[in-house]
Chains A and B, each alone.
Chain A
Amino acid sequence: MLSWTDQSLKVIPYKLIEGMIVAAYAIGANFGYIYCRAEYPLAISRLTHCIHECEKYGLLGDNILNSKFNFRLKIKKGAGAFVCGEETALIASIEGKRGMPKPRPPFPAVSGLWGKPTVINNVETLSNITSIISKGAEWFASVGTEKSKGTKVFALSGKIVNTGLVEIPMGITLEEVVFNIGGGIPFNKKFKAVQIGGPSGGCLPMSVIKTQVDYESLKDVGAMMGSGGFVVMDEDTCMVDIARFFLNFIQSESCGKCVPCREGTKRMLEIIERVPVAYKEGIDKYDQLQRFKGIIGLKRLADVIRDTSLCGLGQSAPNPVLSGLQYFKDEYEEHLFDRRCRSGVCKELLTFTIDTTLCSGCGLCKRKCGTEAIIGQKGEAHYVLQDKCIKCGMCLETCRFCAINVN
């Protein structure tokens, strides 16, 4: 199964193919599928080419190298559904059905694709087989910690100098990954958090930056290894906004089969969406209390979702929110009580004004403003009409004279 980090496949598909042949030989399988997102056309075309080459040299097909062992590989293109990463949903998708998870047991190893025993593994796992077989288990185990052996590939991205794929030995600290390998944060900004493990993972702050990268340690601090996504955030990233972003994602990707995930994450999203709202005249005087109560109830809601969802998507959906709440409580409180977003991301809490001394009157912002909230004569200072402004930030992006102030 191919995801984000497995972009390395663009480079070394033969390692995967060999690993799959060995794995198939071990379990006596004659058919293998590589499930790859259709969004990665380059990976698909390289894989297709490599499979053809292997077939040409008799490494795939019937009676491989006179071993009487037959094995064929097929690429299945995903059709854009995150939940299809879940193993039972993946099987449903290959069978041509809606990719909805099923309760386990029966586990795929007992009854999987077409009702036959099936083994599902990550691309990284399968690619490791080749090196382990040829160099031995001791060699593989010589790298890593006591419980997490070997190496792990991460996709560094976000606010970090060196982006791209890195393979690190298990057990080095997050700090080393961010500041040594990743080269730190660009533009002298301050590190705020690193999000590990994709939408199921957590956001880890500076206070736990000395955490070792291994399965157990990451779990202890509220994140997980997951897909190997490693997104670095700096002081310009708002943690409330990140929580809202992930909940939105989960909401649109939830398959809708079970209630806790389908409805519960919707309620979580509603609670989070009420945090960054601006104060308005005539607002219900209990509004503040309600928003606060929402956050208090969030933890319980999250526990129910985690314990009762059918598949990993729902079970891990609360993680990014909970870790944010745990490590960035002060930021939530600031949004709730002071109605302020220190990173300037929650647009609703901002006021846009034009510095009349810097404005050249070019009129660019006026043309860009979608709600006609900016007025002014060409060549003269422009003004923002606050009640028309929807705080979209377009004027800020377009002004070439840095005349737009935000606070």
Chain B
Amino acid sequence: MSPSGSDRQDSSIATPRGDEWSDCLLAIARSADRAAFTRLFRHFAPLIKGFALAGSRLSANHADELVQEVMIKVWQKAAAFDPNKAAASTWIYTIARNCRTDLFRRLQKFDTPLAAEDVAPDGADEEPFEQIQSRRNGQRVRELMAGLPVDQAQILAKVYMEGKSHAEAAAELDLPLGTVKSRVRLALQKLQIQMTA
């Protein structure tokens, strides 16, 4: 599913590789390019809908509503996208996650002054060195993901894609909570995510 195919061998990403999806975002930011938006939509809308329906808490109608909302936000916020900081898919994922959280809360009639993006902003401001690091980490995470044991990949998908708490994941998989937590930790270790505590 990598957009950039053949120039993969270049692992130094001091300057961002031109990839199709980043280019689309830049074209939207530069010239409100609807053709670029349409290409982006055709690729990401099915993923956003898959993300919406994972965990089956949303109806198909709500999933479509989420797709629209996320893609409109992508259009409106494209100028804030910085290819030095994140891959296009990472940026779009964080927007989709926040929109889904807000939609869950709206459906539960949750009355809050906070939007999900107040709590988890889509672009953390880091120093340039950190940005290169995080792009590099992103690439490494994607490569290591392929080697995860099935049970660990399954738990990560439950937590991230289905939006299940560790406790809910434990109940669904009929596992003790401690087992779920240690599988998540093991998976994150394999993905070389640094842990402070």
Q: Do A and B come from one complex?
A: no
Spell out B's residues near A (CB within 8 Å): none
